[in-house]
Chain A
Amino acid sequence: MNVAVPVPPITPQIPLTARTPVAFAGDRGDFFRLLLRGSLLQVPTAGFYRFWLITDIRRHLWGQTLIGREGLEYTGTGRELAIGFMIALAVLSPIYVVYFVLGLAAERLQAFASLPLFLILYVFGQYAAYRARRYRATRTIFRGVRFWMTGSAWRYAGKTFLWDLATLFSLGLALPWRMAALERYKMQNTRFGDLPGDFAGTGGALFRRGVGLWLLALGLPIAAGATIAAAVVGAAPELVPVAVVVATLALLGLPLVFVLFRATVMRWLIDGVRFGAVSVESGLPRGAVLGCYAKWATAVLGWGAAFAALAGAAFALRTGGSGFADIRAGLAGAWTSHLLDFAGVLVFYLVFLLGVGVLKRYFLDRGLWAAVAASTTVVNLAAADRVQAAGEAAGSLGEGLADALDVGAI
């Protein structure tokens, strides 16, 4: 027996300007439980469980993101990430040794001359970031077709380095054009099946949206420095309250400027995404991003305060228990008891760090992801109907390198 139930139209014949809203349907509780479990498992595994935690996070975020009624899918595995990390260690270990020896040789010439050698690892980090993006792209599935990437990670690393120099020497003025150039390189090398990607955002547009923030980022510290200098060097005590107010404003204002800039950039990045005739629009409100950061900051402060109280109590209990009188006797040989103390401190510290990590992933990674999804619209999705599958799943070395060099994304 074959009962035909009326099929809901998924992508009917629609005009080219049809707008498909994006939504994030993830449950907060599910995500929090997933984070808590994965984070706790990092304690007995010395952090090694992170590959499976990251995978679970991505499966959740991708899987709960709906374009119209159709969901994204993440097909990466924790095992792939762990293998990528092992290979990264094998690649980085000799580099680390060479770096150490070069450092010694350079130090002989001039103290701390080895610092520029950090540049090598920095460029390597950009290479890793590109390859990690390629891994994530090829593990992203939509409508049974994978995204994938061409392009050269070394070329990207070189571009990044040159643009960063330009940004540095222009006091940040070149930043919008740096971002546009790098995003263009990434997106023009990204494909959905046989549909090529592109990036339509321009440096000029980002500059116009962000120049006010740039002025604030430069102006606030300069104003604070100037008033403090006037009050202290100029010996003008009547200026001290003014200096205090301006410095406080700068201190509170700079993180705010950073968050607003981040919001501006995110919206601009999403807005510029193109795949063939499919385009993406973002209405990401700055307030939504600001809200995520505000909740995160509040939660971290709360966690810090709670943890400080807990750690203080534990420490008082420990030293109160043994007493200072017998510390000298204890010092003579109780190496193992110190070892236990040390293990205690380590576990405490780990728990604190893990808590901070959970809050960051919950409020920033998930929060921002949901805010971006909710404010995104895909225009002319029907243009993707004719796409044919193409591209292969890329290796996870990039993710491993990014993890080892600490340049990873979500």
Chain B
Amino acid sequence: MSGGAAGAFYDGVAARPRPVTLRFGADALEILEGEATAARWPYPGIRRLPAAASRLRVRSLGGPALARLDVDDAAAAAELLRRSAQAEEGTTDRRTVVRIVGWSLAATASLVLTAIYLVPLAADELAPLVPVGLERRIGEAVDNQVRTLFSGKACAGAPGSASLGKLSAALASRAALPLPAEVSVLDSGIPNAVALPGGRVYLFEGLLRRAREPDEIAGILAHEFGHVARRDGMRKLIQTGGSSFLLGLLFGDITGGGTLIFLGRALVDSSYSRDAETAADRFAADIMVGLGRSPRPMGAFLVRITGAQKDMPLPFLASHPVSAERLEALEARAVAATAPPLLTEQEWRDLKSICKPG
């Protein structure tokens, strides 16, 4: 039994501070208000709480949850801490931190591996199960967005459209598509072509402008037909939705808008679409060879329009595999042409000017 000291006691029931003296009993702190005992706190249950620097604030595990004792006397505070061996427990200690870090790492690994390996697998299995009717409806939604993003005007110069129809029909005759492809040219300077879910294929005018012969465009179209045949658009939709959802879970932003999620998804998506692109290339080469034309011009064309990609600082972020690789794969399938060109000179000129009025 050592000396007593002053403190302010809050009983957790009334908001009035009660001036008290402390008596250090053998196994418990006695909080005295005058001569009466206001509370008796066993030392093992006493826990320290954050407070201003010169003050010790403690509570007792056994008592009312919000009962508090403030001790401003340094000697009394030191004595109380000396007797309450577990006073510092319950704050974020080292063991808690290690546990949090360990579980977080495990959760991260699980989500990332799921996004990279399991989601594409699920997409592969699910995409063929989506009814064609539903895919077409989803395709319409995506179509609206694509048209809004890329100025949106589809070119319909009459002679050019006829050439495009002839070319598409020739390719489709060899493609065995699960749903009919609808090809049109979008009036946009970007050299690109896209296949949407539901079989819609867009050639951008920028691509036509840079093409030198019909086989180049035919190859690209055949490549997009490959995406349609394999239902890559649908697959990609499922896969992107799934991976952005998982990565969103990870970073705590489930609407998927954050930059980290964008970067992570780009990585996961690109690893997946590399396979899809290679498969579509193979499909295109099969069609071209089947039509008696060589797939080589398409490869050369790809290199011509995407040659700059080699200098990209982070090539793994590119969704399309690098053209040189694709060129080599197409090169391997090169054959001498055994059939006449797919379009006549006049038809080719018509196609190239499909977006020019009159």
Contacts and interface: CB of A to CB of B under 8 A. Distances in A.
Contact of A5 (B73, B138, B241): B73
Contact of A346 (B1, B263, B322): B263
Contact of A144 (B12, B50, B253): B12
Interface string A229-245: 00000000000000000
B324 A144 contact: no
B353 interface: no
Contact of B19 (A10, A335, A404): A10
A5 B6 CA distance: 6
Residue among B144, B271, B310, B311 with the most chain A CB within 10 A? B144
B104 interface: yes
Contact of A385 (B16, B32, B52, B271): B16
A66 B72 CA distance: 14
Contacts of A96: 245, 254-255
Interface stretch (B80-88, B120-128, B286-294, B313-321): B313-321
A2 B101 CA distance: 48
Contact of B101 (A49, A331, A332, A385): A49
Nearest to B23: A2
A70 B148 CA distance: 61
Interface residues of B, number: 77
B236 interface: no
A342 B10 contact: no
Interface in B102-123: 104-105, 107-108
B36 interface: no
A50 B105 CA distance: 14
Interface majority SS (helix, strand, loop, mixed), chain B: mixed
Interface stretch (A102-110, A165-173, A220-228): A102-110
B26 interface: no
B197 to A, nearest CB: 11
Contact of A93 (B12, B254, B259): B254
B128 to A, nearest CB: 20
Contacts, number: 209
B260 interface: yes
Contacts of A111: 144-145, 147-148
B137 interface: yes
Interface residues of A, number: 82
B341 interface: no
Contacts of A389: 12-15, 66
A59 interface: yes
A406 B250 contact: no
Residue among A50, A74, A108 with the most chain B CB within 10 A? A108
Contacts of B13: 144, 388-389
B53 interface: yes
Given A73-B50, A73-B68, A85 B252 contact: yes
B17 interface: yes
A4 interface: yes
Contact of B260 (A25, A75, A349): A349
Contact of B104 (A5, A45, A142, A384): A45
Interface string B1-30: 111111010111111110111010000000
B324 A3 contact: no
Contact of A71 (B14, B55, B107): B55
Given A121-B255, A389-B14, A108 B66 contact: no
Interface string B225-256: 00000000000000001000100011111110
Interface string A45-76: 11111101001100110111010001101110
Given A2-B4, A338-B315, A341-B314, A144 B104 contact: no
B279 interface: no
Contacts of A104: 138, 141
B92 A52 contact: yes
Contacts of A71: 51-52, 55, 57, 70
Given A44-B101, A85-B252, A349 B311 contact: no
Nearest to A387: B15
Given A41-B97, A96-B254, A192-B15, A112 B141 contact: no
28 contacts: A1-B3, A2-B21, A3-B21, A5-B21, A8-B72, A41-B97, A46-B107, A47-B252, A52-B92, A60-B50, A73-B51, A107-B142, A107-B145, A108-B140, A108-B141, A108-B144, A112-B144, A121-B255, A142-B15, A144-B11, A145-B66, A327-B315, A338-B315, A341-B316, A345-B314, A385-B15, A386-B16, A406-B253
Given A89-B249, A143-B16, A346-B263, 12 more contacts: A2-B4, A7-B20, A45-B100, A52-B92, A59-B50, A63-B57, A70-B8, A71-B70, A105-B141, A110-B144, A328-B322, A335-B316
